[in-house]
Amino acid sequence: MSIAMNWVGGEPICALITGARCIDPRTGLDQLADVLVVDSCIAEVGAVGSLTAPSEASIINAEGLIVMPAFTDPHVHLRTPGQEHKESLATGTRSAAAGGYCQLLAMPNTTPPIDSPEILRGVFSRLAEEAVIPVGQLACITRGMEGSQLTEMGLMAEIGVAGFTDDGLPVTDAGVLRRAMAYQRLHGLPIALHEEDPSLSAGAPLNEGQISAKRGLRGSPGIAESTMIERDCAIAELESAQIHVQHLSAARSVDAIARAKQSGVSVTAEASPHHLLLTEAACDTLDTRAKMNPPLRFEEDRLALIAGLRDGTIDCVATDHAPHSKDEKSEPFEIAPFGTTGLETAFAVLNQELVGNRDLDLSTLIERMTSGCVPFGLEPPMIKQGEPANLVVFDPEESWIAGEDGWESRSENCCFTGRSIKGRVVMTIASGVLVHRSGRLSGGEQL
């Protein structure tokens, strides 16, 4: 059984990227270097001017730019099938390519939910027709995401599903989740969990804090998340299961993951750019772009997430890219759907805010941006001879305003809209194919 990564594919480029600062935390690379891409792979990495490019190779002058392994995101909502008014597989993956991603894992909370081998096959074929970068697909843990009956996990594993999740909803019934974890021994694929105790979150549209109090809205406390993480880590320990905890939002959740890891539970965790950079203050004007689930919380939660990302308690950054139409997000705060888009801004905002403020070093940020698919058994992209060519070229000097030139995504509900950002992805190569390039990059015009 192996994970199916579906996409349109394309003609691999033959190119020499020259003069960039090349950084790969996994190989320890951080120097000015040339990278030669041939036949979908990294043919050679060497000192500037030292490589001999084939005559057909395009020369991409990347002086002053940064070349990194391209990013992978284990948590995006691509909305196929049934919600194509929010995003299509083409626009969602173009959005990812523009943000420097070479690989995504898509969530199954679609209409209908992806909860059977038949629906899964349908999505695979749509991805093969539309996706501009490789996409793996998760399927539901329970039929219809109703939280009671298990899906045909074995049959879906046979045709290449990447894992299982009811994301958007928690698996509230502990007994059901225990059976799902026990059943994992049959297929071996990770179970990704949206952690929320609905009796504590009580349908709240935002964090329980000053803004909920002032606005007369129900608030959801951080323990609505952390207590479920503690419960589910205990179940995972009992069943020796592998779980991946999605979108941490609370300081207590980081503690819960750290404790579980210490006691040997096979658990990984992700955090989103919005939880790492924003607090409930972003909800002060009831801007629906700041309405997410889990909600933005307090500054102390945000700082705990950053610390967790730094020390590795949190394994990776995941955007939870959640496109919604303008009409849907124009409803009042309580009615508008949860979620923000994030693929196009993720690395640039995190680099500006976390690396810029010395909360995180660049190499750690790159490691966390490229580790997203590792919990699901995929190899992380590397800048190393013989590896698949998954590369991102980043211009650390380009200044732009998020959303000003529109978005590749079909939706524009990005919580970072309007933010001035210094640094931008200018080129993305996924499995050797050029999937994004900004007009500002010089050289290699024939590509």
Positions in the binding site for another protein (CB under 8 A): 208-217, 219, 285-286, 327, 330-335
Region for 347 from its dihedrals, namely left if φ exceeds 0, alpha if ψ lies in -120 to 50, beta otherwise: alpha
Number of neighbours of residue 203 by Cβ within 10 angstroms = 8
Which one, 212 or 272, has the nearer CB to another protein?
212
Peptide bond into 12 cis (omega under 30): no
Residue 300 beta carbon to another protein: minimum distance, rounded to whole angstroms: 14
Which one, 31 or 330, has the nearer CB to another protein?
330
Q: Which residues of 349-370 are buried (b: 16+ CB within 10 A; e: fewer)?
A: bbbbbbbeeebbebbbbbbbbb
End-to-end CA distance of the chain: 36
Calpha distance 374→156 (Å, rounded):
20
The tokens of 308 are what? 């967790």
Residue 216 beta carbon to another protein: minimum distance, rounded to whole angstroms: 3
Calpha distance 424→393 (Å, rounded):
9
Which one, 52 or 210, has the nearer CB to another protein?
210
Residue 299 beta carbon to another protein: minimum distance, rounded to whole angstroms: 14
Which one, 209 or 273, has the nearer CB to another protein?
209
Residue 209 beta carbon to another protein: minimum distance, rounded to whole angstroms: 6
Catalytic choice (301, 320, 359, 405): 320
Residue 421 beta carbon to another protein: minimum distance, rounded to whole angstroms: 26
Which one, 208 or 230, has the nearer CB to another protein?
208
Which one, 83 or 364, has the nearer CB to another protein?
83
Calpha distance 58→349 (Å, rounded):
30
Residue 243 beta carbon to another protein: minimum distance, rounded to whole angstroms: 31
Residue 208 beta carbon to another protein: minimum distance, rounded to whole angstroms: 6
Residue 345 beta carbon to another protein: minimum distance, rounded to whole angstroms: 25
Angle made by CA atoms 99, 103, 104, in degrees to the nearest 5:
90
Residue 73: enclosing H or E segment and its boundaries? strand 71-76
Instruction: Look up residue 120 and give its DSSP letter.
Output: H
Can 327 be counted among the known catalytic residues? no
| 167, 192 Cβ separation under 8 angstroms | yes
Q: What CA–CA distances, in Å, run from 274 to 12, 16, 38, 193, 211?
A: 34, 35, 37, 19, 18
For every residue of 291-323, DSSP letters joined together read --SSPP--HHHHHHHHHHHHHTSS-EE---B--
The tokens of 170 are what? 């928690």
| 425, 369 Cβ separation under 8 angstroms | no
Angle made by CA atoms 319, 289, 372, in degrees to the nearest 5:
5
Which one, 283 or 402, has the nearer CB to another protein?
283
Which one, 143 or 215, has the nearer CB to another protein?
215
Note the maximum CA span of the chain: 68
Calpha distance 205→189 (Å, rounded):
32
Show which residues are catalytic: 320
